[in-house]
Amino acid sequence: MNNKIHYKELVSFSQQLLKIAGLDKYSLDAVTKGLCETSLRGVDSHGIRLLPHYFNSAISGRKNPKPRFRINKTFPSIAHLDADNAFGHAAGMKAIDIAIEMAKVQGIGAVAVSNSSHPGAMASMALKAARKGYIAFAFTHADALILSHGGTRPYFGTNPVCFAAPREEQEPYCLDMATSIVSWNHVLLNRNSDSPLEPGIAADGHGNPTTDPHKAAAVMPTGSYKGYGLSSMVDVLCGVYTGMAFGRSIPAMFTTKMTEQRKLGQFYMVMRSDGVISHEEFIGYMHKMTDEVRTEPSIDGGSVMMPGDPQIICAKKRMKDVPVFANTGVKIENVEEMLSVADGCVIGSSLKYDGNTWNNVDPDRVKKFMDKVNEIRE
């Protein structure tokens, strides 16, 4: 039995279902893009599997399918967006657009969102800014799910931290992570499939380690007290700063009545890339860093990856009819591996004298590289 569906068909189906739920066009487009793109990138815990939940939340009254956003620019580079209990994706996309416009003029723009809901993967919003050449931070908070450091129960949520930065002719750099070892949706996926959890990632209702997803009541913070501390920071930005609920007072996503609005906060900050050096220099250094990381020696002989690389590769595999190019980090030693997941590549540093980004192209390196490519393609 083939359970696969083409990406375009998935988008169309999602739009039709959400339209039945009464979403206005802005909300419909934001939620559809957020869910489908997240699944395309391999983050299935926050992707299309949540569509039934979102549909039910719209028809039951938890989320407002036709919100009236209210924007208050409190300072030249700070704004407050009252999302009117909108879908989190819609509120997040509106907020990042506002932040981009402020950053364009002021150099930096921060937007605090109140009266929102679950925005899914924060990468959807941060990548929107990075694809336009901006640096972006994105945060939101969740109900208490991270085991408190030294405690027996959770207080803070798996509050995600996302950071994105532009790169040219390829997907931006993107770090999108929960402040726990795994997200709570990861536990739910294992619970639904009745699969045991990996050791050391979850605790039961008494704070004891467990691998049973049905007994899990909390997940462990990333890096022990460090992840716990980061989670508290996010709750300050998204809960305290926005005047929304925080800690154990945040209504749970799945166990709270669907008629109850969660009133979550979000926080975004967007910066111009030319605040200190030129945009061109910034891009050059980003490519240099990416090249150097991807060509670092690896344990298994493969490639060392930058944050976001696994999602870029997954998107290529899941949507085969869209050409994907490897734009940095490609050299003669790894081109065969790169072309196994990409349709082509754009070469920079590895074809220049001494492998230096700022040097001229070395004809001998070009010839050897193309000889290798032709050999692979024969």
Q: Which domains does the chain have, with CATH numbers?
A: 63-180+221-272 (3.30.1370.60), 279-377 (no CATH)
Residue 272, beta-bridge partner list = 134
State the pTM of this model: 0.83
Q: Output the pLDDT for position 331.
A: 78
Long-range CB contacts for residues 363-368, cutoff 8 Å, separation at least 24: 365/332, 368/332
> What's the pLDDT band for 337 if we cut at 50, 70, 90?
low
Q: Output the pLDDT for position 273.
A: 97
First to last CA, the chain: 35
212-259: pLDDT as tens digits: 999 999 999 999 999 999 999 999 999 999 999 999 999 999 889 999
Q: Output the pLDDT for position 324.
A: 55
How far is the C-alpha of 334 from the C-alpha of 329, rounded, in Å? 9
Number of Cβ atoms within 10 Å of the Cβ of 289 = 15
Q: Which residue is it, tokens 């009464």?
A: 22
Residue 89, beta-bridge partner list = none
Percent share of the chain, pLDDT over 70? 94
292-333: pLDDT as tens digits: 999 999 998 788 999 999 999 998 888 865 555 565 567 788
- The H or E element containing residue 203 is strand 202-203
Does the structure show a pLDDT above 60 at 341?
no
Reduced to 3 states (helix: H, G, I; strand: E, B; else coil), residue 231 is helix
47-106: pLDDT as tens digits: 998 999 999 999 999 999 999 999 999 999 999 999 999 999 999 999 999 999 999 999
Q: Output the pLDDT for position 194.
A: 92
pLDDT, mean over the chain: 91
Burial degree of 61 (CB within 10 A; 0-12, 13-18, 19+):
middle
CB-based contact 174:130 (threshold 8 Å) = yes
Q: Output the pLDDT for position 285.
A: 96
Q: Output the pLDDT for position 1.
A: 41
131-161: pLDDT as tens digits: 999 999 999 999 999 999 999 999 999 999 9
